[in-house]
């Protein structure tokens, strides 16, 4: 039986989402093939073995249990056959953790250092999208550009976002100069590098990409139906009027094109295992724009990624087995 180490938590605003994803993973893992241990990383980047009721992952209070600190992390993780990092955002999804695992030759699920780092930084992703010829909305990096150029080069309304963010934290819409000033001040709390991009009124479509037996599978497209004008943190995690769906009214040409872009991006970012790639589709102009790539997508049992794979007739349990086997074959 293979020993799997599931890592969760991390020092980012997505800590609690990660706890929920980790809970779903261990609940759905095929116990005939794998045994697991859970390790949480707290906001001080300290690692702890967690072995209590999984409800402490659901409510995020895992540190209140009898967790055991890990002193020698490298020695500890080397006891496992595969590490399954389920940490979104800073330090878990941006290549740092992946770099450490690669350095010590420890097999792990998902993208390696390069793809993780490229996918986390929205500016670097955009540079690569442009190079690949995948259309995207006009944007500026604020630290390089003067604010007045936003009006002439992009035009209002705009979206202001941290370059290294996730879970819609720090995403603000601005309709005019006054709002922009306020938005920049707000977003600066999250990142010193800020992206300002054209706001598009578009449908949000997502494609789950999976590597299976060295083949790349692009799922059908899922759609976000946000309760708010943008799919902000409230719409994503609080407002219950938001939902996700698998639409049946999309033109075949659009589906085909998005899946082609998704495959191209997965390949050229040198992704491993899996990724969720998100697009905008502006119906009026029939235009597709790439929004972003997520190298550790949300993985709760109701998250988009497992849902899309289920639609491809890959159950959550089989999905985990494919990901773990793929990590061991690298
Ligand atoms: N250019 C844009 N036009 C319209 N809405 C946007 C734009 N960029 C982001 N959004 C909205 O904000 C949400 C979060 O932005 P995103 O770039 O995906 O950041 P995150 O990495 O936090 O998910 C998107 O799901 C979308 O609803
Ligand atoms: Mg997003």
Say how many Å lie between the CA of residue 216 and the centre of ligand 1: 26
pLDDT of 146 over the 80 cut = no
Say how many Å lie between the CA of residue 53 and the centre of ligand 2: 31
Averaged pLDDT for residues 223-235: 93
CA distances (Å), origin 19, targets 7, 22, 55, 83, 95:
9, 5, 10, 16, 19
Q: Whose CA is nearest to atom 3 of ligand 1?
A: 199
pLDDT of 144 over the 70 cut = no
Around ligand 1, the residues with Cβ closer than 6 Å are 137, 159, 161, 165-168, 171, 197-200, 204, 226, 230-231, 278, 291-292
Averaged pLDDT for residues 259-275: 98
Contacts of 301 (CB under 8 A, 6+ apart): 24, 27, 28, 316
Averaged pLDDT for residues 84-111: 96
Contact 244, 306 (CB under 8 A): no
Q: Can you tell me which residue has the tokens 């997965």?
A: 266
pLDDT tens per residue across span 185-205: 999 999 999 999 999 999 999
| Domains present along the chain, CATH in parentheses | 2-109 (3.40.50.20), 119-135+201-295 (3.30.470.20), 139-198 (3.30.1490.20)
Q: Whose CA is nearest to atom 10 of ligand 1?
A: 230
Say how many Å lie between the CA of residue 197 and the centre of ligand 1: 10
pLDDT tens per residue across span 48-76: 999 999 999 999 999 999 999 999 999 99
Q: How confident is the model at residue 91 (pLDDT cuts 50, 70, 90)?
A: confident
Say how many Å lie between the CA of residue 297 and the centre of ligand 2: 9
For residue 330, the number of C-alpha atoms closer than 13 Å in the C-beta half-sphere is 24
pLDDT tens per residue across span 105-119: 999 999 999 999 999
């Amino acid at each position: 039986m293979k020993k799997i180490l599931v890592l969760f938590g991390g020092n980012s605003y997505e800590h609690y989402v990660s706890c929920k994803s980790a809970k779903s993973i261990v609940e759905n893992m095929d116990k005939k093939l794998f045994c697991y241990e859970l390790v949480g990383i707290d906001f001080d980047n300290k690692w702890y073995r967690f072995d209590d009721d999984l409800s402490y992952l659901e409510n995020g209070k895992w540190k209140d249990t009898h967790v055991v600190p890990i002193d020698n992390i490298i020695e500890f993780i080397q006891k496992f056959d595969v590490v399954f990092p389920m940490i979104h955002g800073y330090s878990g999804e941006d290549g740092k953790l992946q770099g450490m695992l690669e350095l010590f030759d420890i097999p792990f699920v998902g993208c390696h250092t390069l793809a993780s780092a490229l996918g986390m930084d929205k500016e670097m992703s955009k540079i690569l999208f442009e190079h690949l010829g995948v259309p995207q909305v006009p944007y500026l990096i604020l630290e390089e550009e003067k604010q007045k150029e936003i009006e002439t080069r992009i035009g209002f309304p705009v979206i202001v976002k941290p370059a290294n963010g996730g879970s819609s934290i720090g995403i603000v819409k601005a309709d005019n100069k006054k709002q922009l000033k306020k938005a920049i001040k707000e977003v600066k709390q999250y990142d010193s590098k800020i992206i300002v991009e054209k706001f598009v009124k578009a449908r949000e479509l997502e494609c789950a990409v999976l590597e299976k037996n060295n083949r790349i599978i692009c799922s059908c497209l899922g759609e976000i139906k946000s309760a708010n004008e943008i799919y902000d943190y409230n719409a994503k995690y609080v407002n219950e009027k938001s939902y996700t769906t698998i639409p049946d009214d999309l033109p075949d040409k659009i589906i085909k094109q998005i899946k082609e872009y998704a495959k191209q991006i997965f390949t050229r970012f040198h992704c491993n295992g899996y990724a969720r790639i998100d697009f905008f589709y502006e119906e009026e102009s029939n235009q597709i724009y790439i929004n972003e790539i997520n190298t550790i997508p949300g993985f709760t049992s109701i998250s988009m990624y497992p849902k899309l794979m289920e639609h491809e007739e890959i159950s959550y349990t089989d999905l985990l087995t494919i990901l773990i086997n793929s990590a061991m074959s690298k």
